[in-house]
C-alpha cells in the first residue's frame, strides 16, 4: 500500500478503497492468505488515464 500511495499521489488508503468500490481503481491480487498487491502495470495504466495538471 505505501508504494501504491506514493506512485499515485493519493494520500489516504480510504480514497483508494472508495475508488475500488466505485470501479475506478484497479483491484489488488491476492499473493498470500493475508496479503495483496497491485500489479505495477495496472497502476501505470490507471495513472495514464488521469488528467495532467495544466491540460485543457
**Tens digits of per-residue pLDDT, 2-50?**
999 999 999 999 999 999 999 999 999 999 999 999 999 999 999 999 8
Burial of 44 (C-beta count, 10 Å sphere; 0-12/13-18/19+): exposed
* pTM listed for this prediction: 0.84
Per-domain residue ranges for the chain?
A: 2-49
SS3 17: helix
What is the helix (H) or strand (E) element at residue 23, kind and residue range?
none
Q: What pLDDT does 45 receive?
A: 97
∠ CA 14-15-21, rounded to 5°: 90
What is the helix (H) or strand (E) element at residue 27, kind and residue range?
none
Per DSSP, what are the bridge partners of residue 36? 30
Amino acid at each position: 500500500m505505501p508504494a501504491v500511495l506514493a506512485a499515485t499521489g493519493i494520500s489516504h488508503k480510504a480514497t483508494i478503497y472508495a475508488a475500488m468500490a466505485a470501479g475506478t481503481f484497479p483491484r489488488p491480487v491476492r499473493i498470500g492468505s493475508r496479503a495483496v498487491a497491485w500489479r505495477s502495470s495496472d497502476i501505470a495504466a490507471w495513472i495514464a488515464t488521469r488528467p495532467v495538471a495544466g491540460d485543457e
